[in-house]
Structure 1
Amino acid sequence: MNKNVIISCAVTGAGETNEKSPHVPVTPKEIADSAIKAAKAGATIAHIHVRDPKTGKLSHDVNLFQEVVERIREADTDVIINITAGGGGDWIPSESDPTRGGAGTDMQTPEERHEPVGLLLPEICTLDCGSVNFGDQIYISPTEWLRKQAGLIKDSGVKPELECFDTGHVRFANQLVQEGLIEGDPLFQFCLGIPWGADADAETVAYMKSRIPENAHWAAFGIGRMQMPMVAESVLQGGNARVGLEDNLYLKKGTLATNEQLVDKAVGIIQGLGADIMSPADARELLKLNK
């Protein structure tokens, strides 16, 4: 069991969840304010996507990232910033020509995915470690693209969080470590329950954590109704936790949540298990982050 837990809060995500809940932050100010409220509730890390303020849909606009990051950095409340570097990877084959992307396809090169990270130098950024059937679309992240992106992240001095949506992603993340593209103690995130990746259950957590290096740090999260059960499961198996509106909109059945409410509930679960919540300062030291 982990006795000193890092809580990440994924505050907005990339999906069209803002159409389902008024609590999903959209503008840079809303996203930053929500990250700060989550930190005050106990979150160690804020995981950041940005959205088009006019439409609420996913955006890759570096200026929006910059505004969010600057607002968080200028706040009195401390929190580690983790920017998504997943970028555009959504592929939906065209019905008329399956060799081309259809409506909803959104692709970026490794350099484009890295752009906000290289400009803003957050303490952590994500690195999605493989392609996967993601609901009714495909998330595309080819191995050579990942090698290039890992090299860009390494050169920037930012800590990559190795996002693993399936067991093969763990294998490739380990390969990046072996090739020297990931420096220091690697940081893994097991992203569970997404159709059609790895299941959100105790057996999957146990298997995935058994396949990572001994010096690795790790966390696991589940989506939807499995968010809070996976908080407990991850901590009991020695890992850290993630909650937030990117992964789950509800505090309980029928009750829409805010990010700070989800963090507060996770804090209660973790403390109820007899563990403490790690501060951003302590997490920086543990993970050897460049601030």
Structure 2
Amino acid sequence: MKSNDSFVLNFAPTGMVPKRKDSPHVPLSSDEIVEQVHAAVELGITVVHLHARDQDGEPSHDIDLYGEIIGKIRSFAPELVVCVSLSGRKRPDFESRSGPLTLVGDRKPDMGSLTLSSLNFSRQASMNAPEMVQGLAKAMLDRGIVPELEAFDSGMINYANYLIKKGLVEAPFYFNLLLGNPANAQADPLSFGAMLALLPEQSLWGVGGIGGTQAPSAMFGLASGGGVRMGLEDNLFYNADRSRLATNQELLQRVHVMAGLLGKRVMTPAEFRVAMKMAPGNGRYGRDLEKTAGQS
């Protein structure tokens, strides 16, 4: 599933790691996140990948926090595709990780992140046991929520194909290919090409780079006919020598400039919903939408 002129721009503004001491530009409170999403919508994005933070700036799976953020975003961007993080780096239990998937009505997320295997980051591990990955996939399937399939190397794409064969993930698919983590695929053509070769048919995909690999990874994605994941979640600096902190708006603007040079434009949320067979606020077409709406 490639478009000649449009691409998915997936905005990741916050993440789980950056703190105020690391950068004054990282949005932590609900209002800060919503404000920066609003600015991003005006510039042009397709998907927003959300991490909620508590009043102390710590990562949170609290469904009320997620509901507050999503509700405010829907008030000015009802068609924007909203993805919630289901990461287990801070809270490893299923109940916490799957909590945001239980939101209903206008606060129901369109997508949920699904990291496809355990991995080591530079300072901590992200544990994703097979039963956890499959449980989260089943929870999203049951609720008509599209998984954002996060792959850090080719092995994770192999596992996605395994989930597809088991019927836990349905076409069409959306993949985020994350490059540059020390323990996984690097931001080089060989590693990137190996991942692309394994993607199943009916896949939309974007590329994100960690740290200094963010800009080169964005170029890989755009030049190869895919999309881009961009934001302070993955990289705090504007330049390669790390001499200046970036803002989310600057990072997004740079992607727009790159895309313009290639004659590409950002795919609208409405176009993404059609490509992914999604309906506004209710997940995929074909689910029991009346039942879902009745729970709100």
TM-score, normalization by structure 1: 0.89
| CA apart distance, 1:259 | 1.3
The aligned counterpart of 1:94 is none
32-41 or 76-85: which moved more? 76-85
1-structure distance, mates of 2:219, 2:78: 26
Structure 1 residue runs without a partner (length 5+): 91-105
Identity %: 33
- Indicate the residue corresponding to 2:23 in structure 1: 21
Q: Please, which of 262, 278, 288 is the counterpart of residue 289 of structure 1?
A: 278
| Of 156-165 and 247-256, the range deviating more from structure 2 | 247-256
- 1:67 maps to what in 2? 68
Would you say the 8 A contact 1:190–1:219 is kept in 2? yes
| SS of aligned partner of 1:220 | strand
- The equivalent of 1:157 in structure 2 is 144
Q: Please, what is the CA RMSD of the aligned residues?
A: 1.6
Following superposition, the deviation at residue 47 of structure 1 comes to: 0.7
Could you tell me which amino acid in structure 1 is paired with residue 273 of structure 2? Answer: R
**What amino acid does structure 2 have at the position aligned with 1:176?**
L
Query: Is 2:101–2:112's contact at 8 Å kept on the other side of the alignment?
Result: yes
Report Cα offsets for 1:135-183 as digits up to 9, x if no partner: 1322110112111111001001011011011221111111001111111
Q: Judge conservation of contact 1:128–1:141 (CA < 8 Å) in 2.
A: yes
Partner Cα distance (1:262, 1:290) in 2: 29
Distance 1:243 1:153 in 2: 24
Kept in 2: contact 1:11–1:31 (CA 8 A): yes
Is 1:182 the counterpart of 2:169? The answer is: yes
Deviation at 1:195, TM superposition (A): 2.4
Pick from 237, 242, 267 the counterpart of residue 278 of structure 1.
267
Q: Quick one: distance in 2 between partners of 1:76 and 1:137?
A: 35
Residue 171 of structure 1 aligns to a residue whose secondary structure is: helix
Q: Secondary structure at the match of 2:128?
A: coil
- Within the candidate set 255, 267, 280, 1:266 is matched to 255
Question: 1:214, 1:61 → 2: CA distance?
Answer: 35
| Aligned residue identity for 2:230 | V
TM-score relative to the length of structure 2: 0.88
Distance 1:277 1:60 in 2: 30
Instruction: Report the equivalent of 1:203.
Output: 190
Q: Find the residue that maps to 1:70 and give its secondary structure.
A: helix
**CA distance, structure 1, for counterparts of residue 174 and residue 51 of structure 2:** 19
5+ residue gaps, structure 2: 281-296
**How far apart, in 2, do the equivalents of 1:261 and 1:44 lie?**
17
Residue 79 (structure 1) aligns with? 80
Q: Which runs of 4+ in 1 moved over 4 A?
A: none
Residue identity in the other structure for 1:131? S
The residue type paired with residue 116 of structure 2 is: C
Q: Distance in 1 between matches of 2:206 and 2:96?
A: 27
2:93 to 109, 112, 125: 109
Structure 2 residue matching 1:161: 3-state secondary structure: strand
Q: Does the CA contact (< 8 Å) of 1:118 and 1:153 recur in 2? A: no
- Distance in 2 between residues matched to 1:11 and 1:135, nearest whole Å: 20
Give 2:95's aligned amino acid: E
Distance 2:79 2:38 in 1: 8
